[in-house]
Copies of this chain bind each other. A is one copy, B any other.
């Protein structure tokens, strides 16, 4: 059930059996939502946090112009609104991109869990800090990389993040985003996303077909996107 989540934690630090058990027992229940459903609405008071078990979600912000910006993608094993545990309300929405299953952790149980396990507190704090690092990297992309490089970087990030939870086969993964949604991540229009994708295809860097991305030349794609995975903190250290 939450194996992917534990895998994600254990990439960064050791989690004891006792801690694992404590996490499991803080979970209240599992829920499901269909695609294109808001899961957390911005501004609402929060009393629980949700852990994504299956599917993709996205943090979205709607603009007055009718456009929207996606500030992060969330995959299986991600605690999508763990920051809500301290913020108590979010500044953005969380939308289900695909059909999703998620586990619910009430804040009072989290609080009890974390007061009893200071080490787990630091590990979860770390996880929200890694989200912030991802945000910074997107800021750099949006601010300073041209469209093809920006897109290459995103495909690399998704690959590595899915890889550690076992959701890739080689350099290939399921990719449920429409070109419009991809544009919402990259700050581009869907028309330009379409042309940029064609350019990456022509350069033999990737194949995109039927909801699947296949990276043909990972080194080339990483070079184009100036991708380095250090901001994902894939390293086990005492936290």
Chain A residues at the B interface, C-beta cutoff of 8 Å: 43, 59, 61, 63-65, 67-69, 71-72, 83, 85-88, 91-92, 114-115, 118, 121-123, 125-126, 128-133, 135-140, 142-145, 184, 186-187, 226, 230-231, 233, 237, 239
A168 to chain B, nearest CB (A): 23
Q: Say whether chain A's binding surface is mostly helix, strand, loop, or mixed.
A: helix
A197 to chain B, nearest CB (A): 18
Q: Is the CB of B87 within 8 A of A139?
A: no
List of B residues within 8 angstroms of A237 by Cβ: 88
Pick the contact of A136: B91, B123, B128, B184 (CB < 8 A).
B91
Q: Is the CB of B126 within 8 A of A125?
A: no
A218 to chain B, nearest CB (A): 18
Name 22 interchain pairs, CB-CB below 8 A, sorted by A: A69-B139, A69-B140, A69-B143, A71-B136, A83-B132, A83-B133, A85-B122, A86-B125, A86-B126, A86-B239, A87-B126, A91-B136, A91-B230, A91-B231, A121-B125, A128-B128, A128-B129, A131-B132, A132-B132, A135-B135, A135-B136, A142-B143
